[in-house]
Amino acid sequence: MSEGADTKPQRSKSAKWTRRGFIGAGALAGGALIVGVAVRSGNPVGKLKAIVAGGDGEALVNSWVKIGADNLITAIVPHCEMGQGANSTIAQMLADEMDVNWDNVRVMDAPADGNYVSQHAARLFVGPGTLPDKPNAVSFMEPTYDGLFTQVAKLAGAYITGGSSSVRSTGQNGMRIAGAAAREMLVAAAAEEWGVPAAEITTQNAMLSHAGTGKSEPYSAMAAAAATQELPRAPKIKDVSEFKLMGTAAPRKDIPLKVDGTAMFGIDGGPEGNDLRYAAIKACPVVGSQVASIDPSTAKTMGGVLQILNMGDFVAVVADSYWQAQQALGTIETTYTETQIDDLDSAQMFANFSSALDEAGDTGGNSKAEYGDATGTFADAATKLEAEYQVPYLAHMTMEPMNCTAWVRDGKCDIWTGTQVPLMSRDGAAEGAGIDADDVTMHSVFLGGGFGRRLTPEYTNQAARLAKATGYPIKMIWSREEDTAQGFYRPADISRFTGGLDANGKVISWNNVHCTEDEPPEAPLIEFYDIANVSVRNAEVEQPLRLGAWRSVAHSQHGFFVESFIDELAHKAGKDPFEFRRSLLAKSPRHLKVLEGAAKMANWGSALPEGHGRGIAIVRSFNSIVAEVAEVDMTGDKPRVTKVFCCVDAGFAMNPDGLKAQMESGIIYGLTAAMYDEITIKNGAVEQSNFHDYKMMRMDDAPQIAVQIINGAPNNLGGAGEPGLPPAAPALANAIFAATGQRIRSLPIAKHFS
């Protein structure tokens, strides 16, 4: 969301390349200063006034800090807030590098206009090998990398929030450097004005001070002068020992708005003072089908109904209220065109998966990892184990269903929606309205949950199509039933393993073939375990449903597969599951420390009441290592998770409270899926419709959760939003085995106890 200014800012002076690229500054009237890291010296940051402070001109990418005349520091963040708190943490990193007190910091969403794509996020996803080992420790290639990946990000619409990437990409490699540059420029301005050495000036709480002369000024007083300073070639960022805000539980900036009810979510957004109408929709239930016919005779007679539309791939009712639209929609009799999967059900789909795995055998399929001789050593193994695991499709089930408000008029379109990909959503709306993307204005709002579901733009396209077709500003809201049936689902999968042990119970062979093409590709790999002979492959299969990123992506499947099979190997070897893993992690000290941390928290090995069990699992995902121990009570008619102990090493916890909250959230989300959830297919369509048949873990079923944080690599940050999830399912399944001897190889667990 843009902020206005009464006058135009001055252009910054020409500046030098830094080792990161080009750091630019521009002064705004009234004493404001904008500082940023640009990709090319031909684009001074002064042009940012049109985007973040009013006026005309073109903005630069990665310009993220503004100092106002009121001495408030605004962090302009190119990511979305969906409850994870990352935007606040990124601002915290900026504030620490600038020596700004937290009360003086504000957070602003970067405009979704293409100028604020984060090349750091693009590099993390597309070219992780190009990222520096630590912030500002970069090579002569850095300007080229920044320019290249900015273009990649623009082409891909990669203003993205996902992959647990915000803090470890934009925060670590962008925001900290912009903050350090701003501080050095302010110090240089004060030194020049006061006639004292810059080295004698101290900064604290957004104030500049010189002890020898007793002079002291707020940052805002030096903002205009700072813009005229020679730009630092390589601003010095802080060492961990110098952190003041980073590593502390600074209160999140979004929480007060959510507590007092002033937070604006997608479902709240829309134009004020206009003739807003509401739309309910129902899309074709089978992927690939179209609407063949509708009978709207009953709907036409119902109160408040304004228009009934056959949009080809969905039917919509537009009415004075959402309830009226949804009730009328339910009366419309609809037929659909036939597809090749109209007779498909889940059993047949999994049979097709099994056939593909049969064809792949012990050596076929697409290789993901090959070292040693997995098949040869298995043949010679003293003890052999084979196992097959299965997981279903999963829906996201965000608390706020898909929605978008669109207003199309005079060749322009405004949209209000919660999205993890604002540029892609803008493009989707532009296509729906039949206009250029530059003529679409995105209004930033909070997301009522994301988990990967809001990485697609189909709902902004639908809303814009309806707004164009009806002439009204339209608030389109999906029902929970529509949200459940029209998802982009976590893939279903089958994974087969063979493992061989030598006479001493050591793993000498690991062979795995599964169905999915994994994202991220390292999800099924086990390089941290000391196993010499490994083969990991996947067999190509047809997936009948739309697929999308689901919280922790492929790590959610493979965490369950790998850590279940490791547990089975431990029991086959006659060894304690914790000690068995411990022996395999001797060459992976960070993993070992996390595993031992979780075991110690849970008092591993101590006695439990009869009918209770304890299970352990460890997964590295999104550059974070998480080990969890689950305790389960099996004395009732179904498993009840009583406690989960979690130890996490995310490199460094920039906000420990935020990291802890995300671990707790991931555990609950993971346990919910493990216990209850599956999306099944009948006659080509999704069978589930709402929370009665796609259950959530409720408060009375939730376990006690304890989280311990290890800061094992401060210059090598990991993610927080997703890594807490993958160990949850295997830790629970392993605990059930410990309590009962029943090995769970397919999810959800509840169906084994129905």
Q: Which has more confidence, 166 or 401?
A: 401
The Cα 133–Cα 640 span in angstroms is 43
| Poorest-pLDDT segment among 165-174, 403-412, 514-523, 739-748 | 165-174
Among 433, 446, 14, which residue's Cα sits nearest to residue 256? 446
Token pair recorded at residue 410: 């005079």
pLDDT at residue 546 is higher than 80: yes
Angle at which helices 86-98 and 176-194 cross, to 10°: 30
The Cα 616–Cα 586 span in angstroms is 17
- Assign domain 346-393+489-753 to its CATH architecture: 2-Layer Sandwich (3.30)
The pairing of beta strand 201-204 with beta strand 105-109: unpaired
What contacts 727, CB < 8 A, 6 or more positions away? 559, 563, 617, 618, 619, 626, 627, 628, 646, 670
pLDDT at residue 132 is higher than 60: no
| Interval 689-703 mean pLDDT | 96
Q: What is the 3-state secondary structure (H, E, C) of 617-685?
A: EEEEECCEEEEEEEEEECCCCCCEEEEEEEEEECCCCCCHHHHHHHHHHHHHHHHHHHHHCCECEECCE
Amino acid at 28: L
Among 342, 452, 327, which residue's Cα sits nearest to residue 397? 452
Token pair recorded at residue 502: 């030598």
Fold of the domain spanning 22-246: Aldehyde Oxidoreductase; domain 4 (3.30.365)
| Poorest-pLDDT segment among 99-108, 156-165, 179-188 | 156-165
Among 202, 117, 192, which residue's Cα sits nearest to residue 161? 117
The Cα 480–Cα 691 span in angstroms is 8
In residues, how long is the chain?
754
What contacts 86, CB < 8 A, 6 or more positions away? 79, 161, 166, 167, 171, 658, 720, 721
Tell me the per-residue pLDDT of 21-39, one tens digit each, with 9 for 90 and over. 344 556 555 555 666 544 3
Three-state DSSP class for residue 725: coil
The Cα 652–Cα 241 span in angstroms is 12
Identify any residues that bridge with 617 across adjacent strands, giving them in sequence order: 628
DSSP E strands, 311-365:
314-319, 333-336
Tell me if 617 sits within 8 A of 744, measured CB to CB: no
Among 406, 417, 394, which residue's Cα sits nearest to residue 465? 406
Tell me the per-residue pLDDT of 518-542, one tens digit each, with 9 for 90 and over. 999 999 999 999 999 999 999 999 9
pLDDT of residue 149: 35
Identify any residues that bridge with 704 across adjacent strands, giving them in sequence order: 643
Tell me the per-residue pLDDT of 412-424, one tens digit each, with 9 for 90 and over. 999 999 999 999 9
Tell me the per-residue pLDDT of 370-397, one tens digit each, with 9 for 90 and over. 999 999 999 999 999 999 999 999 999 9
The Cα 728–Cα 567 span in angstroms is 14
Tell me if 23 sits within 8 A of 149, measured CB to CB: no
pLDDT of residue 333: 97
The pairing of beta strand 314-319 with beta strand 305-310: antiparallel
Using a 10 angstrom Cβ sphere, with 0-12 exposed, 13-18 middle and 19 or more buried, the burial of residue 483 is buried
Residue 568 backbone dihedrals phi, psi, to 5 degrees = -65, -40
Angle at CA 541, nearest 5°, toward 728 and 685? 80
Q: How confident is the model at residue 610 (pLDDT cuts 50, 70, 90)?
A: very high
The pairing of beta strand 314-319 with beta strand 277-283: antiparallel
Residue 370 backbone dihedrals phi, psi, to 5 degrees = -140, 115
pLDDT at residue 612 is higher than 80: yes
The percentage of the chain sitting over the pLDDT mark of 70, rounded to a whole number, equals 85
The Cα 682–Cα 345 span in angstroms is 4
CATH topology identical between 22-246 and 346-393+489-753: yes
Q: How confident is the model at residue 146 (pLDDT cuts 50, 70, 90)?
A: very low
pLDDT of residue 163: 81
Q: Which has more confidence, 27 or 599?
A: 599
Fold of the domain spanning 266-337+402-477: Aldehyde Oxidoreductase; domain 4 (3.30.365)
Angle at CA 81, nearest 5°, toward 713 and 401? 130
pLDDT at residue 650 is higher than 60: yes
Domain ranges of the chain: 22-246, 266-337+402-477, 346-393+489-753
Identify any residues that bridge with 635 across adjacent strands, giving them in sequence order: none
Q: How confident is the model at residue 652 (pLDDT cuts 50, 70, 90)?
A: very high
Tell me the per-residue pLDDT of 722-738, one tens digit each, with 9 for 90 and over. 999 999 999 999 999 99
Token pair recorded at residue 522: 């390292």
The Cα 23–Cα 400 span in angstroms is 39
Among 198, 176, 177, which residue's Cα sits nearest to residue 188? 198
pLDDT of residue 19: 30
The percentage of the chain sitting over the pLDDT mark of 90, rounded to a whole number, equals 76
> What rounded mean pLDDT belongs to the chain?
88
Tell me if 20 sits within 8 A of 136, measured CB to CB: yes
- The CA distances from residue 250 to 91, 590, 651, 697, in Å, are 10, 27, 18, 29
The Cα 571–Cα 565 span in angstroms is 10
The Cα 288–Cα 342 span in angstroms is 10
Three-state DSSP class for residue 509: strand
Three-state DSSP class for residue 32: strand
Tell me the per-residue pLDDT of 148-158, one tens digit each, with 9 for 90 and over. 334 434 444 55
The Cα 585–Cα 579 span in angstroms is 10
The Cα 735–Cα 520 span in angstroms is 28
pLDDT at residue 69 is higher than 50: yes
